[in-house]
Amino acid sequence: MNTVTNIKKQNGWISFLNKISASYALMMPILIAQLLQRLYPVIDNHFIGILGRQSLYLHNVQLNFIIFGQFIGTATSISILVFWRRKECVNQQGHILIKHLLSTLLLTMSVALTAWLFSDKIMLAYHVDISSMTIAKTYLGIGLINMILQAIYISLDGVLVASKLQKFSMLIAAGLVTCNIIADRLSISYFFSDNDAATPLLLIGLSTTGILLLAITLSTRKILRHIHGWSSFSIKEMMRVWCSELGVYLIRGVTPFIYTYQLCLITASAGFIVTYQLALQLSYLFCLPLLASMQIAVSEASETASEKTNTSNWWHPLFYTGILPTTALLAIGIFAAIPILEIAFHYLPASDHLNYLPIFFISCWIGQWGNVFTVPLRAKKLSYLVTKNFFIAELIILLGGTQLLIMLNLATPLTVAYTTLLFSSVYLVLNIRNTRMINQTSVVRMS
């Protein structure tokens, strides 16, 4: 009897390990591709840091728009993942793709046009030096084009994942990063001098435009060969999910503009915006394992949800392939952020910025747990709850709390860090609460 029990336990462990190994095999190409995508701003900041602090500052003002485009693309890719592998939508993939891409293009073009019309006010709001205004506006214009292209490219990358073309996505991303490094290096080597930092700065921006256009072309060709059908797809059904996802990422995309402006008003040594932006970029890299595994989790949970079966099969792979690696990487950020910033970006934060960094990365860790609890909500097409929770946490707690500190003359890097910690904690609690509610509702219906 004991022998039979032991054999069953061994078989159970073998089955479990095989499942985790399979999850890693699926996740690793996605992880590598997204890591390479996130290396774009890191690489640019590394080389632009050579051009001087003023160039680095201009780039980080533009970076808000690039991040906005990435968030819109991420919202679109998640919306596509919700529909792509559902049995009732398999023959509608062509229309799912076109309607998502057109909606994304119209949205980002509208934002880019509006931002360009108010470019002078944007530059003044961020206290850009008047003597650099012409270069700053030109570089912003390039950044707005790249914002649109980033949104389209990341949307297409989500389609590659949904179509199980992760390896192709990884190859595209590897090629893009390689081209980006070469272009940045050549721009600085041949065009940078003590009297001219503007030319290499603009060339770095334009090279990104060309590289993204190439990525979009190659991704589109590959996807069109793997679409299963072109049956009509309800725009109303799409908008219900896409707009809900968009709500979260619009908040996440708009917040950096307001938040970086608020950071200009706090009592801190010069350059705190750069410290925040560079820490944010590191956090994106550290959280990539979870982001990559969440894409698979959302797809699997949505697929089983459409069949009205148990959606818990996504949890263990997500924990081992996403949560644990992200936790380890964020721990590095907590304890070693300062040497990482110095090595990666040639940047040493001021002394009053140092206490901000560990609390910031702790907040990121709590926030990622909050993201984990969005998977069952998205699988049930309840993305609007995620939007509501993010609205409460980010707009009311983070931005509202920071503004209150500014009004009370209490805003310092340390107090702002504690506000960030409160924001991520509220986000986690709200998502846990909603997940419990839908689970209880499901149990009641089954009984």
Residue 339: predicted pLDDT? 93
Could you tell me if 45 and 281 are in contact, meaning their C-beta atoms sit under 8 angstroms apart?
A: yes
Q: Which residue has the tokens 């839908």?
A: 438
What share of the chain in percent tops pLDDT 70? Answer: 86
Asked if residue 444 belongs to a domain, the reply is no
In sequence order, what DSSP letters do the residues of 125-169 get, joined into one string?
HTT--GGGHHHHHHHHHHHHHHHHHHHHHHHHHHHHHHTT-HHHH
User: Stretch 20-45: mean pLDDT, rounded?
Assistant: 68
Q: For 402-414, what is each residue's pLDDT tens digit?
A: 999 999 999 999 9
Asked if residue 447 belongs to a domain, the reply is no
CB atoms within 10 A of CB 408: 9
Distance CA 159, CA 240 (A): 19
Say which amino acid occupies 189: S
Asked if residue 305 belongs to a domain, the reply is yes
Could you tell me if 349 and 282 are in contact, meaning their C-beta atoms sit under 8 angstroms apart?
A: no
In sequence order, what DSSP letters do the residues of 205-242 get, joined into one string?
HHHHHHHHHHHHHHHHHHHHTT--------HHHHHHHH
Whether residue 235 has pLDDT greater than 90: no
Residue 351: predicted pLDDT? 92
| Phi, psi of 196, rounded to the nearest 5 degrees | -145, 95
Distance CA 435, CA 40 (A): 35
| Phi, psi of 43, rounded to the nearest 5 degrees | -65, -45
Could you tell me if 145 and 69 are in contact, meaning their C-beta atoms sit under 8 angstroms apart?
A: no
Q: For 149-202, what is each residue's pLDDT tens digit?
A: 999 999 998 888 778 787 888 888 888 888 888 988 888 888 787 677 888 888
Q: Which residues contact 237 (CB under 8 A, 6 or more apart)?
A: 83
pTM for this prediction: 0.68
More confident residue, 109 or 32: 109
Say which amino acid occupies 427: Y
Q: For 9-28, what is each residue's pLDDT tens digit?
A: 555 556 656 665 666 666 66
Asked if residue 22 belongs to a domain, the reply is yes
Asked if residue 446 belongs to a domain, the reply is no
User: Stretch 114-143: mean pLDDT, rounded?
Assistant: 85
Q: For 354-395, what is each residue's pLDDT tens digit?
A: 999 999 999 999 999 999 998 888 878 777 888 888 889 988
In the chain, how many domains are there? 1
Could you tell me if 228 and 47 are in contact, meaning their C-beta atoms sit under 8 angstroms apart?
A: no
User: Stretch 250-274: mean pLDDT, rounded?
Assistant: 83
More confident residue, 369 or 234: 369
pLDDT band of 417, cuts 50, 70, 90: very high
Q: Which residues contact 211 (CB under 8 A, 6 or more apart)?
A: 176, 179, 180, 183
Whether residue 289 has pLDDT greater than 70: yes
Could you tell me if 50 and 188 are in contact, meaning their C-beta atoms sit under 8 angstroms apart?
A: yes
pLDDT band of 309, cuts 50, 70, 90: very low
Spacing of C-alpha 199 from chain mean position: 29
Residue 26: predicted pLDDT? 63
Residues in the chain, how many?
447
CA dihedral 420, 422, 423, 426 (to 10 degrees): 160
Distance CA 340, CA 283 (A): 12
Asked if residue 302 belongs to a domain, the reply is yes
Asked if residue 135 belongs to a domain, the reply is yes
User: Domain containing 108: what range?
Assistant: 2-439
Distance CA 130, CA 248 (A): 35
